[in-house]
Amino acid sequence: MKKIKSAKKAVFTAKTKIIDIHEGDELVVLINEQDAWEHGITSMDKVSLIYEGKEFVFDADLSNTYVQRGEIGIYEDIQEKYKIQGGQLVTIAFTKNTSESLEALKKWLTGKRLNQKEILAIMKDISNNRFTDILTTYFSAMGFFFPSKDEDLYRMAKAMAESGEMLHFPWVVADKHCMGGVPGNETTMIIIPLLASLGIKMPKTFSKAITTPAATGECVSVLMDISFSKKEIEDLVKKNNCCLVRGGGLDLAPADEKLIKVAYPLSMQSYSRTIVSIMAKKYAMGINHSLIDIPVWPTAKVPDMKTARILKKKYEYVGKKLGMKVDVELTSALEPIGAGVGAVLQVREVLRVLQQHAKRPMDLETKAVFLASKIIELVGLAKGKDAEKLAYGQLISGKARTMMQKIISAQKGDPTVLSEELGLAKIQKDIIAEKSGKVKYIDMKVVNVVARTLGSPLDLQAGLYLHKKLGDTVKKGDIIYTMYANDQGKISLAKEFLDDKKMYEIA
């Protein structure tokens, strides 16, 4: 084995070669092993690629198979995202974190407060891919150990937003966000078309699921494209008063996508990180009226009213500092909302509500209308019962469904799709009641773990359908819930997990 040279040359040139590989969210380029050795590059390094006067930061990987000496391999997804063409001469240089960002991180790790300049330095280096996953994880994990003051949350949200693209709309612009932790609960895909059909501007962005089997992003992607440019988003909002798009694809609050990536394996995110993430994206999206839904229950993400009230005040403080009018609603999270848990299963329920289908989940419909009425109040369109009546009217009349069809069409989906036409996972396993009684309790944390074990959120078809909800009468032999997966091994793993965990209590 050749010894890596210790002296790392700052700059060399190479010709780009497009590689037919997609790495997803990973930003990786391939460097020839001999070139790497000569310049002291290892697969642990990051490199800057300078192309047409722009600098891009990537993780280095080494190969003698895919690239020859003097070549640098560019994966197809990187080519598409950054418009880097093949056969171009580019400059390669070592990447260093700014000393300011590293010093700020060290200061943060000792529990000291950071000023706006220091926070912005960290956010920029995370956004630009200069921070390694390890450094980003350090920054993310600190939210669990040192409580952040409200002013710190505001500074982080502002810096996170300002490290990426910012949108500005000349109207009243509203948004709804749920803190999550409740299985099902896909109210957003009902609320957005409902309110847009009333003329309220609702440009909705989202990120990947962290603590739930499927967030809005996974659900929307079942029906339509979710990645659009800034100009395309502005056009969508002008056309339909709304959009349903992925924030990470737009470079809105780009540090957030990287922080989500390091949080994903543990399905955990601190309250402070959640607040910063949510409010940064609202600010970057040009939102000036925001509804925050905080579901509260011992097995939800927010376990009690005391914690919920503290979070409510923090959201209100950060929102006000960012120039937003904020309404925070504390909602009950006794059980999953709706019966479907998993992207396709949740979308089926959304379409059933919009279609006013006989099988629509009434708890999902009721909550969606309640939250929609609160936004109607927030923007001054109507108040109290009149706001609720107005929201229900858009569902019953079919106007909300018509708007959803327009959204799907504009975002390159099939607007004619019906709830019962969606394809579910090929393997289904019914779980049968072993005794009669009533459903006394559903452990939502167990529901989430089981659904993720079955393949959610990566497998959009995987998940659970809950045939029985709280208070329902159960007879021995009834189906309590159905597992959906595309791999028999995942069904087996889920059943094994349930050997010593109880999802339902029937008595």
- Amino acid identity, position 232: E
pLDDT band at 25 (very low <50, low <70, confident <90, very high): low
**pLDDT tens for residues 314-331?**
999 999 999 999 999 999
Query: What are residue 252's DSSP bridge partners?
Result: 165
pLDDT of 9: 47
Helix intervals (H) in 337-425: 343-355, 362-378, 384-396, 399-410
All structural domains of the chain with their residue ranges: 11-94, 99-146, 174-250+280-410, 424-506
Calculate the alpha carbon distances from 61 to 29, 41, 43, 99 in Å. 6, 9, 5, 25
φ/ψ of residue 351, rounded to 5: -65, -35
Calculate the alpha carbon distances from 1 to 8, 31, 52, 485 in Å. 18, 18, 36, 45
φ/ψ of residue 257, rounded to 5: -60, -40
Query: Of 143-157, 245-259, 299-313, where does mean pLDDT reach its minimum?
Result: 245-259
> In angstroms, how far is the first alpha carbon of the chain from the final one?
66
pLDDT band at 264 (very low <50, low <70, confident <90, very high): low
Structure tokens at 351: 């379409």
Looking at 3.40.50.300, 1.10.10.10, 3.40.50.620, 3.40.1030.10, the CATH number of the domain 174-250+280-410 comes to 3.40.1030.10
How far is the C-alpha of 199 from the C-alpha of 241, rounded, in Å? 6
Distance of CA 162 to the CA centre of its chain: 19
How far is the C-alpha of 83 from the C-alpha of 310, rounded, in Å? 45
All residues at 6 or more sequence positions from 229 whose CB lies less than 8 Å from its CB, including other chains: 250
For the segment 455-462, the average pLDDT, to the nearest whole number, is 96
pLDDT of 249: 61
pLDDT band at 45 (very low <50, low <70, confident <90, very high): confident
* CATH 2.60.40.1180 given to domain 11-94: no
Nearest CA-CA partner of 187 in 224, 216, 225, 222: 216
φ/ψ of residue 341, rounded to 5: -130, 110
Q: Taking CA 475 as the corner, what is the angle to CA 473 and CA 477, rounded to the nearest 5 degrees? A: 140
Q: Is the pLDDT of residue 42 over 70?
A: yes
Query: Of 17-26, 83-92, 306-315, where does mean pLDDT reach its minimum?
Result: 17-26
The total of other beta-carbon atoms located within 10 Å of residue 43's CB is 13
Q: What is the dihedral of CA 22, 23, 29, 31, to 10 degrees?
A: -80
3-state secondary structure string across 66-133: CCCCCEEEEEHHHHHHHCCCCCCEEEEEECCCCHHHHHHHHHHHCCCCCCHHHHHHHHHHHHCCCCCH
Calculate the alpha carbon distances from 436 to 63, 336, 455 in Å. 62, 22, 30
Q: Are 30 and 86 in contact (CB under 8 A)?
A: no
How far is the C-alpha of 297 from the C-alpha of 441, rounded, in Å? 12
Give the helix/strand (H/E) hosting 293: strand 289-296
**pLDDT tens for residues 363-399?**
999 999 999 999 999 999 999 999 999 999 999 999 9
What does pLDDT average to over the chain?
90
Calculate the alpha carbon distances from 381 to 156, 390, 446 in Å. 33, 9, 40
Structure tokens at 213: 């089997």
Q: Is the pLDDT of residue 97 over 70?
A: no
Distance of CA 199 to the CA centre of its chain: 26
pLDDT of 438: 98
Q: What is the CATH number of domain 424-506?
A: 3.90.1170.30
The total of other beta-carbon atoms located within 10 Å of residue 388's CB is 18
SS3 of residue 167 by DSSP: coil
Q: Is the pLDDT of residue 131 over 90?
A: no
How far is the C-alpha of 266 from the C-alpha of 287, rounded, in Å? 30
Structure tokens at 55: 């600098």
